[in-house]
């Protein structure tokens, strides 16, 4: 009953999260004309250990050749297929402020299986303007986009205060995958996936380790600030 590969059900989340990086590394090899790689080489390019890479790939099937390695094109195709990138996914960006502008102008979407089909905003002054070749449309266009264009993924680039409203509108329209740039948690019904990209969180994690390193190096914390301690 189940399709092609074997009897693989459920690829671990941790593995799925790394597949895009493997795909990117493979694309890099392909561009340099390399047609075959070992798990060791590919792992190095993707920044992981080879054992981890091999176990990850084993979840999608057995696409390597023992004693030789992996054929670059074939493996790239298999990963693409697993990730659902053999088709284009229609994406809408909501919130055409600073970040929305940058996202709209970003060429990295198209090259990786995504197509921005609409830019949305609430602001009357923005609606109708063209950004990166697309007109800004009102939120009321959402339902139609889902029905007519197969819109599947929504990107939220509005302030945090509006993010939940925008999210609700997307879900109501039938969007089931959301990428959220606003620094807040979104409540969604079952069956809807949300992923968050959060700049401040990343910086704060860096700050934690930076402080750690400074303290290990011998600095001291005075009044909440690091002070370099005289040494050597």
203 contributes a contact to a second copy by CB under 8 A = yes
Place of tokens 């989340």: 13
Question: Binding string to ligand NAD for residues 172 to 211, with x set by CB under 6 A, is what?
Answer: ---------xxx---------------x------------
* 194 φ/ψ angles, rounded to the nearest 5 degrees: -125, 135
- Tell me how many helices (H) and strands (E) the chain has: 8, 12
In the set 34, 68, 215, 229, which binds DNA (CB under 7 A)? Answer: 68
**Tokens at residue 169, please?**
């509108």
In the set 87, 123, 128, 129, which binds a second copy (CB under 8 A)? Answer: 87
Compute the C-alpha angle 70/72/75, nearest 5°.
Answer: 70
19 contributes a contact to a second copy by CB under 8 A = yes
**Which parts of 59-174 fold into alpha helices (H)?**
72-83, 98-105, 142-149, 160-173
**Tokens at residue 41, please?**
């080489």
Pick 39 or 164: Cβ nearer ligand NAD: 164
Closest among 133, 68, 140, 132 to 103, alpha carbons compared: 132
50 contributes a contact to DNA by CB under 7 A = yes
In the set 22, 25, 64, 186, which binds DNA (CB under 7 A)? Answer: 64
- Return the one option of ligand NAD, a second copy, DNA, none that residue 208 interacts with (CB less than 5 to 8 A, by type): a second copy
**Tokens at residue 116, please?**
């921005």
CA atoms within 13 A on the CB side of 147: 7
Sort 94 into a burial class: Cβ within 10 Å, 0-12 / 13-18 / 19+. Answer: buried
57 contributes a contact to DNA by CB under 7 A = yes
Binding positions for a second copy, 88-107, rule CB under 8 A? 89, 91, 98-99, 101-103, 105-106
Closest among 74, 75, 62, 132 to 104, alpha carbons compared: 132
- Return the one option of DNA, ligand NAD, a second copy, none that residue 131 interacts with (CB less than 5 to 8 A, by type): none
**Which parts of 186-232 fold into alpha helices (H)?**
199-216
* 97 φ/ψ angles, rounded to the nearest 5 degrees: -90, -150
Q: Report in angstroms how near the CB of residue 134 gets to DNA at its nearest.
A: 37
In the set 138, 174, 183, 219, which binds a second copy (CB under 8 A)? Answer: 183
166 contributes a contact to ligand NAD by CB under 6 A = yes
What residue ranges bind a second copy (CB under 8 A)? 3, 16-17, 19-21, 23-25, 45-47, 81-87, 89, 91, 98-99, 101-103, 105-106, 108-109, 112-114, 152-153, 176-179, 183-185, 191, 193, 195, 197-213, 221, 224-226
What residue ranges bind DNA (CB under 7 A)? 12-15, 38-40, 48-52, 54-55, 57-58, 62-70
């Amino acid at each position: 009953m189940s399709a092609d590969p074997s009897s693989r059900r459920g690829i671990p989340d941790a593995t799925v999260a790394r597949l895009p990086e493997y795909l990117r590394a493979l694309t890099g090899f392909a561009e340099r004309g390399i047609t075959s790689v070992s798990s060791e080489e590919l792992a190095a390019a993707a920044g992981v250990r080879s054992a981890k890479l091999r176990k990850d790939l084993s979840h999608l099937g057995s696409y390597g050749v023992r004693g030789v390695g992996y054929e670059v094109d074939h493996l790239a195709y298999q990963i693409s297929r697993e990730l659902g990138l053999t088709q284009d996914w229609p994406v809408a960006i909501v919130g055409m402020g600073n970040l929305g502008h940058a996202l709209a102008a970003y060429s990295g979407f198209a090259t990786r299986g995504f197509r921005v089909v609409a830019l949305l905003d609430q602001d009357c002054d923005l609606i109708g303007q063209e950004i990166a070749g697309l007109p800004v449309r009102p939120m009321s266009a959402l339902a139609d986009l889902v029905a007519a264009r197969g819109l599947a993924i929504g990107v939220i680039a509005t302030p945090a205060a509006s993010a939940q409203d925008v999210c609700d509108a997307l879900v109501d329209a039938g969007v089931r995958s959301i990428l959220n740039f606003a620094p807040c948690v979104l409540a969604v019904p079952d069956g809807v996936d949300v992923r968050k990209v959060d700049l401040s969180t990343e910086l704060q994690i860096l700050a934690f380790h930076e402080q750690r390193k400074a303290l290990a190096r011998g600095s001291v914390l005075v009044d909440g600030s690091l002070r370099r301690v005289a040494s050597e």
